[in-house]
């Protein structure tokens, strides 16, 4: 089951999301002494990241991962790493969190995906690493991370933890964690804003379908929440 939380506007949705991430960090550090959080890319979470930088007073033991990355240099404007640097790390309290960028994706996507999978295993163990929180976006077409409708091979991947994909929106070449990693997360949060997301939210809440990759993120042990502003929320 997915818990739907509707915020009054995009700023409120960003604040709720940032507060949820803080709570996940605090719970993980209390239980295990360390917190492993994967972050979403795109424009939507930028506000939440700016708030998060203000809300976390102590980043010790916090590891930040990427649910997906574009195959561009890390300083490119389309890079999810640059999104985090510009909106979270720039104002984060010192010392900053440990960040795990996807490196080399612009030169060797398949090699970068394999290396990132190994880095996850080295830090978190296996056979499937267990993140404390996976923060995810939701595309108007129902994609999440870089798992797109119609990419059957990516959606049915169960062995590899990270893969290179050719998406349906630019930048087309990307790296993405796979569904086993998202399934294993202790908690998952989707953040969606704007009227353009209403259809995708309705389809996500309707239940699992390969037409809506986000709806495939499910695990009986995980807490899954969808945070949306009023503009994005489907009619009640």
> Is 228 contained in some domain?
no
Does 61 reside within a domain?
Answer: yes
pLDDT at 126: 87
Residue 93: pLDDT band with limits 50, 70, 90: confident
What is the CATH number for 120?
Answer: 3.40.50.1360
Work out how many domains the chain is built from and give that number: 1
Domain that residue 152 falls in? 2-215
Please state, in angstroms and rounded to a whole number, the distance separating the CA atoms of residues 110 and 108: 6
Question: Given this model, what pLDDT does residue 167 score?
Answer: 83
CB 46 within 8 A of CB 74: no
Q: Does residue 176 fall inside a structural domain? A: yes
Separation CA 9–CA 20 (nearest Å): 17
Band of pLDDT at residue 221, cut at 50, 70 and 90: low
- Indicate if the pLDDT at residue 133 is higher than 80: yes
Domain contains 230: no
Packing angle of the helix pair 10-32, 46-55 (nearest 10 deg): 50
Structure tokens that stand for 220 in this block: 């009986």
What pLDDT is stored for residue 228 in this prediction?
98
Q: What is the full DSSP assignment across 23-86?
A: HHHHHHHHHHS-EEEEE--SSTTHHHHHHHHHH-S--TTEEEEESEEESS-TTSTT-HHHHHHH
Nearest to 89 by CA among 50, 60, 34: 50
State the pLDDT at residue 110.
97
- Considering the domain boundaries, does residue 159 fall inside one? yes
Any domain includes 211: yes
- Sheet of 2-7: strands edge to edge? 2-7, 223-229, 187-192, 133-137, 35-39, 62-66, 98-99
For 18-67, how does the pLDDT look when each residue is reduced to its tens digit (9 = 90+)? 999 999 999 999 999 999 999 999 999 999 999 999 999 999 999 999 99
User: Does 162 map to a domain?
Assistant: yes
Q: Which two tokens stand for residue 62?
A: 């916090």
Instruction: Say what the pLDDT of residue 128 is.
Output: 96
Report if residue 227 sits inside a domain.
no
C-beta of residue 76 within 8 angstroms of C-beta of residue 69: no
CA angle 187, 201, 228 (to 5 degrees): 65
């Amino acid at each position: 089951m997915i818990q739907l939380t509707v915020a009054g506007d995009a700023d409120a949705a960003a604040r709720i999301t940032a507060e949820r991430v803080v709570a996940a960090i605090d719970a993980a550090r209390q239980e295990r002494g360390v917190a492993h959080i994967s972050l979403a890319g795109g424009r939507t979470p930028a506000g939440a990241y700016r708030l998060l930088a203000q809300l976390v007073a102590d980043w010790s033991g916090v590891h930040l991962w990427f649910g997906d990355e574009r195959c561009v240099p890390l300083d490119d404007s389309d890079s999810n790493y640059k999104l985090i640097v510009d909106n979270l790390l720039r104002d984060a309290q010192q010392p900053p969190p440990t960040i795990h960028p996807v490196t080399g994706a612009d030169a060797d996507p398949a090699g970068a995906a394999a290396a990132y999978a190994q880095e996850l295993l080295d830090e978190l163990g296996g056979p499937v690493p267990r993140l404390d929180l996976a923060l995810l976006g939701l595309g108007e077409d129902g994609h999440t991370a870089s798992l797109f409708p119609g990419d059957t091979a990516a959606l049915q991947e169960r062995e590899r933890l990270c893969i290179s994909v050719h998406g349906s929106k630019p930048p087309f070449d990307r790296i993405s964690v796979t569904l086993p990693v998202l399934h294993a997360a202790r908690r998952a949060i989707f953040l969606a804003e704007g009227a353009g997301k209403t259809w995708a939210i309705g389809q996500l809440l309707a239940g699992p379908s390969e037409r809506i990759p986000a709806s495939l993120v499910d695990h009986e042990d995980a807490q899954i929440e969808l945070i949306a502003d009023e503009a994005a929320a489907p009619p009640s």
